[in-house]
Amino acid sequence: MFNWFKKKQAKLYPIDFSNIKVDIHSHLIPGIDDGAKSIEDSLALIKELVKYGFKKIITTPHVMSDLYKNDSNTIISGLEKIRKRLKEESIDIEFEAAAEYYVDYDFEQRIGKENFLTFGDNYLLIEFSFLEAPRNLYDIIFKLQLEGYKLVLAHPARYQYLSLKDYEGLIDRGVLFQLNFLSMLGYYSNEVKKNAEMLIKKEMISFVGTDCHNMNHARLYSKCQTLSAWHDLVKSQKLLNSQL
């Protein structure tokens, strides 16, 4: 009965994604992970991302030892098929591929034995379990950095076991953070949204990405463009996407 006393949140003007130009996290190569199922799905999602203002997409299929056993060959092969169709259909977008590597024991054993797929200035996108941090995490970070990789942690707000001290420890060790747009929207949970807003306030975010898997995701990005968190992130001038 006292709703009229509540302050109504102002609707902010939309800031489209041409501001950052490049999406560095998505799952658009068909049939190799939990993202696009077919080449038609891939093209439909890419067209949506173009509408949002992206000029370049760096898609990042999962590489997980016990689930998505992708490697450079499967990813690059899929990339070339999409590029061919983009050219045939005159879809104006620069399209590249890297990978999202799941940090576990198997991944650690491969460090120094193979060249991982990277983007930009040798940036390597990694992800953790949503249940607990990897064992020997700081040792793994050190080994990767010795190999010349610049580490980017995917969707840090979603690892709810990490404290502010943990986030600060990772940043102190040179790890950059990539935030999902949908984390700001509360798509995953309110706790993830709170984490996202805290990381933005602390100016800990270096990259932002769609983490687009399907059309349900794609249809939500317009809502992200009017969020105060997104406006704050743009105003921070910390984002590196446009440099890629």
Q: Does any domain span residue 69? A: yes
Give residue 222's domain range: 16-243
Report the CATH number at residue 222.
Answer: 3.20.20.140
Give pLDDT tens digits for 108-153: 999 999 999 999 999 999 999 999 999 999 999 999 999 999 999 9
Give pLDDT tens digits for 84-110: 999 999 999 999 999 999 999 999 999
Q: Does any domain span residue 235? A: yes
Strand partners, 124: 151
Residues 16 and 54: beta-carbon distance below 8 Å: no
Q: How many residues make up the chain in this entry? A: 244
Neighbours of 162 (CB within 10 A): 17
Q: Does any domain span residue 226? A: yes
Axis crossing angle, helix 228-236 with helix 190-201, rounded to the nearest 10: 30
| Dihedral, 35, 39, 45, 47 alpha carbons, nearest 10 | 160
- Tell me the torsion sign for CA atoms 242, 87, 182, 159: negative
- Helix, strand and coil in the chain, % to nearest 5: 40, 15, 40
Contacts of 211 (CB under 8 A, 6+ apart): 25, 26, 27, 154, 155, 180, 181, 182, 217
Q: Does any domain span residue 182? A: yes
State the Cα–Cα distance between residues 81 and 128, nearest whole angstrom.
29
Q: Does any domain span residue 7? A: no
Q: Does any domain span residue 174? A: yes
Residues 16 and 53: beta-carbon distance below 8 Å: yes
Give pLDDT tens digits for 20-74: 999 999 999 999 999 999 999 999 999 999 999 999 999 999 999 989 999 999 9
Q: Does any domain span residue 39? A: yes
Q: Does any domain span residue 115? A: yes
Domain count, the chain: 1
